[in-house]
Amino acid sequence: MANGATLPGPFLRTFDVLVFGRQIAVLDDNDCDKARQELTKRNEGITSCFVGRSFADGLQNFNPRLIDGAAPIIGATHPMHPYDSRRLIVCAK
């Protein structure tokens, strides 16, 4: 993207999966924060809103690309990046 290349999408980030797990209550804020800390420790890419913040603090600025339509939406509702388009999944409970 930085070099002007057109990339096909959609793209999922690690935090899309973590936030999805949090949204459907498979993970809690503590689980997600531990994952964020481990990614940071391993020098993996961290989505900017989570850099230097807890998972719960960063979540309010994160627009998830993967959501469960049957669960309350969490995170920001405004796009952060041009590729921020939501993919709806309905999970059977």
Residue 74 has pLDDT above 90, yes or no: yes
- Judge residue 32's burial from the number of C-beta atoms within 10 Å of its C-beta, 0-12 exposed, 13-18 middle, 19 or more buried: buried
The answer to whether residue 4 sits within a structural domain is no
Distance in angstroms (rounded) separating the CA atoms of residues 85 and 63: 9
Q: Is residue 7 in a domain? A: no
* Tally of domains in the chain: 1
Evaluate whether residue 84 is within a structural domain: yes
Has residue 2 been placed in a domain? no
Tell me the whole-structure pTM to 2 decimals. Answer: 0.82
pLDDT digits 0-9 by tens, 6-62: 777 677 889 999 999 999 999 999 999 999 999 999 999 899 999 999 999 999 999
Which pLDDT value is given to residue 30?
97
Q: Is residue 1 part of a domain?
A: no
- Whether residue 6 is contained in a domain is answered as no
Q: What residues make up the domain containing 23?
A: 14-89
**In the prediction, which pLDDT does 3 show?**
81
- DSSP class of 20: H
